[in-house]
Amino acid sequence: MRKVGEKKGRTSTRAQAGAVRAQVKKLLYRLYEHRLLRQVHHGVMQEHIGIILDGNRRHGVRQGITDPQAIYSLGANKLNEALDWCGEFRIPVVTLWVLSTDNLSRSTAQVSSILMAIEEKLVALATDPEIHHRRVRVQAIGRLDLLPGSTLAAIETARKATAPYDSMVLNIAVAYGGRDEIVDSVRAFLAEEARRGGTLEETIDRVTTAAISENLYMRDVPDPDLIIRTSGEIRLSGFLLWQSAYSEFYFSDVNWPAFRKIDFLRAIRSYQERQRRFGV
C-alpha cells in the first residue's frame, strides 16, 4: 500500500511542478509581449501588410489532427487574432494569401476542406460585430472564376456586408497567383487598347509600369510594406509578385495556426529596424 501511495504522491508532485512551469512560462510570455509592444509602439507602422498563411498541414501533423476540414478550420480561426493585432496598430490594409492557383491541383478532399473553411470564415466575417465596429471592408482577389458557386456566394456575402467601410481593407487572396495577376493585368490592358482602336505601335508605346499597375487586382491600395510568411519556408512563391518589389520580408518558423502575437510583434519590430531605400 505504501508503494501505491508513493507512486500517487510522485504523480501529484510532477503534476504540480508541471502546473508551476506552465504558470511561469505564461508570465514570461506576457512580460516579453509587453516589452515588444513598448518597442513597436515607438516605431513607424506599416500601411499594408501581406501574410502568407503557410503550415496548416504541418501543424495538423504535429497535433495529430488528420481530418482536413479540422486542420484548415484552425487556420481560418487564427484570422480573428491577426485582425485584432492589425486593428490594434491601425494598419489600414491587410492581405492574406489563403489559397493559390497551384493549390487547386491538390487532392479533392484537401481543396474542398480549404474552400469550406474559407466559406465559413467569410460568412462569419459578414456578421461579426467586431468587423462592423472596426469598419473593415472585406474583398477577395484572384482568379475568382475558378472557384465554385458556394465560395463565390460567400465572398459576395462578405463584400456586400462590408462594402461601405473604409477604416481597414482585408484582402483575401484566393485562387491567387502573382504571375497570373500580371498576365491578367496585361490582358486587361490589351483589351482596353483594342477597344480604343489604336495601332500596335501606339499600344506598345503605352505599355508602362503605371499601365500594368492600373490593371492589377488591388490597384486602389498601396504596395505592401511588409510581407510575412509562416512555417519556415523562405520564399514568396509568387505572392504579390509585382507589388513586392520594395517590400520587406519576414519569415517565421511558426506554422500559421500556432502563430502568436509575439511572433507578429517580432515581424513588426524587424521591419522597424530596417532602413528602406527603395532602390536609392
- The residue from 54, 128, 180, 225 that is catalytic is 54
- Indicate if 77 belongs to the active site: no
| Rounded Cα gap, residues 174 and 271, in angstroms | 26
- The domain spans of the chain are 1-42, 46-272
- The residue from 80, 103, 184, 263 that is catalytic is 103
pLDDT in tens, 146-188: 999 999 999 999 999 999 999 999 999 999 999 999 999 999 9
- Indicate if 54 belongs to the active site: yes
Q: Which residues have CB under 8 Å from 25's CB, separation 6+? A: none
Q: Which residues have CB under 8 Å from 262's CB, separation 6+? A: 29, 32, 33, 36
List the pLDDT tens digit at each of the 280 positions of the chain.
555 566 566 667 776 766 777 777 778 888 888 888 888 988 889 999 999 999 999 999 999 998 988 999 999 999 999 999 999 999 999 999 999 999 999 999 999 999 999 999 999 999 999 999 999 999 999 999 999 999 999 999 999 999 999 999 999 999 999 999 999 999 999 999 999 998 999 999 999 999 999 999 998 899 999 999 999 999 999 999 999 999 999 999 999 999 999 999 999 999 999 988 887 7
What is the reported pLDDT for 118? 96
Topology given in CATH for the domain delimited by 46-272: Undecaprenyl pyrophosphate synthetase (3.40.1180)
- Residues of the chain above pLDDT 70, percent: 95
| Rounded Cα gap, residues 133 and 136, in angstroms | 8
